[in-house]
Amino acid sequence: MSDKSQPITASPGTKIRLADFDARHVEGKWKKKSAREQAQKNVAALADLAYRLYAEDRRALLLVLQGMDTAGKDGTIRHVMSGVNPQSCQVVSFKQPSAEELDHDFLWRIHKAVPRRGHIGIFNRSQYEDVLVVRVHKLVPEAEWKSRYERINEFEKLLAEGGLTILKCFLHISRQEQRQRLQARLDDPNKRWKFSHGDIQERKLWNDYQRAYEDALTKCNTEHAPWHIIPADRKWYRNLVISRLMRDRLQRMDPQYPPAAEGLENVVVE
Query: Using 50, 70 and 90 to split pLDDT, how confident is the model at 3?
Result: low
**Pick from 177, 227, 189, 196: which is nearest to 12 by CA?**
227
pLDDT tens for residues 184-205? 999 999 998 989 888 999 999 9
pLDDT at 2 over 70: no
Q: Among 137-151, 222-236, 253-267, which stretch is predicted with the lowest mean pLDDT?
A: 253-267
pLDDT at 257 over 90: yes
Classify burial at 97, counting beta carbons within 10 Å of its beta carbon; exposed 0-12, middle 13-18, buried 19 or more: middle
d(CA 44, CA 85): 11
Domain locations in the chain?
A: 18-255
pTM recorded for the entire structure: 0.94
Q: Superfamily for 18-255? A: P-loop containing nucleotide triphosphate hydrolases (3.40.50.300)
Q: Which residue has the higher pLDDT, 3 or 52?
A: 52
Q: Which residue has the higher pLDDT, 176 or 263?
A: 176
**Pick from 173, 182, 159, 192: which is nearest to 233 by CA?**
173
Q: What is the average per-residue pLDDT within 222-237?
A: 97
Contact 42, 244 (CB under 8 A): yes
